[in-house]
Amino acid sequence: MRVAIVTGSSRGLGASTAIKCAERGIGVVVTYNNNPEKADAVVAAIAATGGTAVALKLDVGDSQSFPAFLDAVKEQLQAVWGRKTFDYLVNNAGYGLFNPIATVTEEQFDGLFNVHLKGPFFLTQALLPLMEDGGHVVNLTSATSRVATAGVAPYAAFKGGLEVLTRYMAKEFGERRIRANSIAPGAIRTELGGGLNGEFEAMLAGQTALGRVGEPEEIGGVIASLLSDENRWINAQNIEVSGGYII
């Protein structure tokens, strides 16, 4: 059985991705930071449909914790799947902050940087020795790095940096046949940044060609499909999945 590590998968896009991967027969390492109960619920949902998953704690914003996470992954790979390697890494964990540039503090800036760019860089580096040749890294970027949206400058800037990093990963990991792509969601109904209220959702829907915001499973399904062998020739791409957001 192939195995995926999906960061930040106790809820939202990550949970949907974990479930969609399991539906395709992929074992899943679900990670959480503050809510083990929600992570356990995702594991239970996967188990209920015949899939296999485990939940591990991971703070993507704390790179000093990555060696301990690596040890935990090694232990679970062997115990649950009888393997020493895994196949797919989905760098999804993140959070939103809506502040104009004039009011963003250095602490807020650093927090977003650590989770959205530094974390994926060094987590991928740490896990790379365990990744099977022919594997795949998928990074979650954002349509906000294409369309300037007031109040999300640091978040969007780091997502843009992650998009660039994805191409470098594809370049440098290619000798091991490891692909790297990124998925850029548009407006999605999740808890990111506090979620959507009615007025905000209506505005976003009005800016989207299909006339609505997206649902988490519409992103998770794309990611699970991208991991599959049928899409093995897609590499070094940033794929926007937004329903036609501000086109």
Determine the Cα–Cα distance for residues 226 and 217; give it in Å rounded to an integer.
Answer: 14
Task: Give every CB contact of residue 238 below 8 A, 6+ residues apart in sequence.
Answer: 141, 163, 166, 181, 182, 183, 184
Q: Taking the mean position of all CA atoms in its chain, how far away is CA 123?
A: 12
Strands 3-6 and 86-91: parallel
Tokens of 62: 């704390």
- How is residue 231 annotated by DSSP? G
155 is catalytic: yes
Determine the Cα–Cα distance for residues 217 and 26; give it in Å rounded to an integer.
Answer: 16
**Which of the following is catalytic: 32, 88, 95, 155?**
155
Residue type present at position 191:
E
Task: Give every CB contact of residue 51 below 8 A, 6+ residues apart in sequence.
Answer: 22, 23, 25, 27, 28
Closest by CA to 186, choosing from 238, 225, 110, is 238
Q: Taking the mean position of all CA atoms in its chain, how far away is CA 134?
A: 19
Positions marked catalytic: 155
